[in-house]
């Protein structure tokens, strides 16, 4: 697959708290950096996203007495999983992992800063209507095809890919440049949505060898 000037690489939430030893560690999360570094030189345009939660964020189990991490409830926008506090604004856990070297990235998009609503997707809050502004940015820049890598495959990467498709953008998840949480079948669920919505699946070597 040939990469051109209308393509963008979205690198999702490569932050300390999602790495081994972090507050919400994704299993083998540190393995995403090498493939991201391999493919990044193929892209003229790179956008980084960053979870950026206030300390009292609604999605934190600690904000709800009697609730434990990974409990869930139904709210007006669907099922809300309660997470350990993570990626709190201004903390080391919210910083990009120091091994990530993408100084050529053109935009850092922070999400999840609204206290009362969770935010997985790079495009919309979890109500699926409140925009982050990324869609407008891509449109004004003439970026029309999205490739995704990072953490976590079955949450923030997956929701971002699905929203890209909902906006009419071709979207491809670079599977070996992602790692998953796989909570209660979340990998199978997101892959079912990928198949239904036309999200493409690639391995990073397909870009390296064919672009």
C-beta atoms surrounding 142 within 10 Å: 9
Per annotation, catalytic residue among 13, 51, 154, 163: 13
The catalytic residue among 118, 156, 176, 178 is 156
Any catalytic annotation for residue 178? no
Cα(141)–Cα(134) distance, integer angstroms:
11
Tokens of 192: 């079912």
Residues near 142 by Cβ (< 8 Å), separated by ≥ 6?
6
CA distances from 127 to 107, 130, 163 (A): 24, 7, 12
Catalytic residue among 111, 163, 176, 178: 111
Phi, psi of 109 (to 5 degrees): -105, 120
Residue 13 annotated among the catalytic residues of the structure: yes
Task: Note if 139 is an active site residue.
Answer: no
Is 16 in contact with 22 (CB distance < 8 Å)? yes
The token pair at 100 is 């990530």
Q: What residues are annotated to the active site?
A: 13, 111, 156
């Amino acid at each position: 697959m040939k990469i051109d000037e209308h393509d963008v690489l979205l690198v999702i939430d490569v932050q300390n708290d999602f790495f081994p030893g972090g507050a919400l560690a994704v299993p083998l999360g540190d393995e995403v950096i090498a493939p991201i570094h391999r493919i990044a030189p193929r892209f003229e345009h790179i956008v980084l996203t960053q979870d950026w939660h206030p300390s009292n964020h609604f999605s934190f189990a600690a904000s709800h007495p009697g609730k434990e991490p990974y409990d869930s409830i139904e709210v007006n926008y669907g099922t809300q999983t309660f997470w350990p506090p993570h990626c709190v604004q201004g903390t080391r856990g919210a910083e990009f992992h120091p091994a990530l070297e993408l100084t050529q990235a053109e935009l850092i998009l922070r999400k999840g800063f609204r206290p009362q609503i969770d935010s997985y997707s790079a495009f919309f809050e979890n109500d699926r209507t409140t925009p982050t502004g990324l869609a407008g940015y891509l449109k004004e820049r003439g970026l029309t095809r999205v490739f995704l890598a990072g953490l976590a495959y079955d949450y923030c990467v997956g929701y971002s890919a699905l929203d890209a498709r909902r906006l009419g953008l071709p979207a491809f998840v670079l599977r070996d440049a992602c790692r998953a949480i796989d909570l209660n079948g979340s990998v199978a669920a997101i892959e079912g949505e990928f198949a239904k919505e036309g999200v493409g699946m690639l391995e990073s070597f397909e870009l390296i060898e064919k672009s």
